Amino acid sequence: MAIEYTDNLPQFAYSAQQVQQYEGKAAELSGTNLSALMQRAGSAAFQFIENNHPKSSHILVVTGKGNNAGDGFIVAERCRQAGFMVVVLVLFAPENLTGDAQQAFSQYQGKLVRCLDDIDTEQFSVVVDAVFGTGFRGVLPEHVSRCFDTLNGLPLVRIALDVPSGVNATTGEVAASTLIATTTVTFIALKQGLLTGSAKRMVGELLLADLGVSEAFKTLVTATSSFLNHQTLMAARPQRAADSYKNQHGHVLLIGGNRGMAGAIRLAAEAALRSGAGLVSVATHPDNTVCVLQGRYELMVHGVSDGEALLPLLKKATVVVLGPGLGQDDWGQALFQRVINTDIPLVVDADGLNWLSRNPVKHANWVLTPHLGEAKRLLQHSDAAFNESNRFAMATEISHQYSAVVVLKGPGSLITDGVRTNINRSGSAAMASAGMGDVLSGIIGSFIAQGMEAFAATNLAVYIHGLAAQRAAHDGEKGMLATDLFEHIRGIVG
């Protein structure tokens, strides 16, 4: 059968343990076996190399001590037979391989070396990582780290087989000196740890070769995470009837903007407008009313001196966004304390999260939007100990602790309600810029105001936020501003 790979990735992801546990059964249900799957995996990676790199390429395949090494030897032999110049660097004695991996090693007829110092690395243009696969966790051995440090410093195309060596494919944790892949060809199913946090940088371009067993695998295993695509998310956008009017599309109240921080609440408020909210009100420090309103006269801006001044505004709100520019002084604390126990749906961001970390409560209907630092502060009351690289565990614990939908922001942002988890697939490095989180909180509030359930609204908002950034970044990643997203948000929301 023809072995294909694709960048059209499916909408579900699994733990590495699930793939290890069920790949044999999936092969059996598909009328094949694990030995054939190894051959197919090696063939898929070879096909990628043949399609994307000229025969003049010198290829270095680096192998380990498990089945990932077997994949590597198959790639090496296929490349050798196709006319590539190939060398295999063995980081562990290949004589100790067993089963299908040992068979693949015995079939390799090319050059083999046991130390990186024994070859001229400058002659190679492609390196294939076949050292550790889905089973890796913990710390790389010292000799492997030294090798990877050298390879990472060379101008090479780096192709990882299944998982970049050093990445925990379940948690996304990344070991020091992990090989940084240009492209990762993963096998059978998506592993959730490849899709979020620092692991995304190690993975590079992600391709999937399902080896002809994906349909059987899906019948055997329940996905640990979703990875919703553009079509699914766009189908969930709020719709407007031709005869609708503004009061039918929700009223977002945004609270924040302390002295000197008017920009944060203005960004969040305009984002709520641009993503379709019918009415948007802002409660801000009295010093800021003019500058928040200036140039965006569709906003209803109120200067509030204390928490009591919020009461008439809360009565009109469909949803409240609390925190952008709120500050950590007495004014910010008074507004936080007045709002935090309301029964209105809440979106809490920025300084709202900082106040929450000091005054932990649960709420019936809210969304929390921490970045990593805020997440650690929210978890300071938890009895559980976390490696901050395990983003799945952190997001789930925050959700349980606060009874909230949680967005753990960052590459491959995680959205969870404690039971369901979605990994966002949009975004850009250009988003490392002031005000981006304020824009996101405004979009989430807008979609909830328009009637969407909190988890669905948050998935959609995070995706549109990232997609707008991707489109805005076409003019350059560095120097992109949060306000550059607005025209794109409007176009995507439709």
Residues in binding site for K(+): 68, 129, 165
Nearest in space to 291 (alpha carbons), one of 320, 264, 313: 264
Tokens (6 digits) for 443: 């979009």
> Residue 116: CB partners within 8 Å, gap ≥ 6?
89, 147, 150, 151
Q: Which residue has the tokens 């990582």?
A: 129
Nearest in space to 333 (alpha carbons), one of 315, 361, 358, 363: 358
Side by side, the strands of the sheet bearing 319-322 are 12-13, 225-226, 421-423, 414-416, 405-408, 366-368, 346-348, 319-322, 251-255, 279-284, 300-303
Annotated binding site: 68, 129, 133-139, 162, 165, 264, 325, 371, 409-413, 437-438
Tokens (6 digits) for 355: 């106040």
Judge whether 128 and 60 are in contact, CB under 8 Å.
yes
Beta bridge partners of 226: 12, 422
Annotated binding site for (6S)-NADPHX: 133-139, 162, 264, 325, 371, 438
Beta bridge partners of 12: 226
Classify residue 201 by burial, with Cβ atoms within 10 Å: 0-12, 13-18, 19+. Answer: middle
Tokens (6 digits) for 400: 């349980």
Judge whether 41 and 187 are in contact, CB under 8 Å.
yes
Annotated binding site for AMP: 409-413, 437
Q: Which residue has the tokens 């969040």?
A: 268
Strand 12-13 to 225-226 pairing:
antiparallel
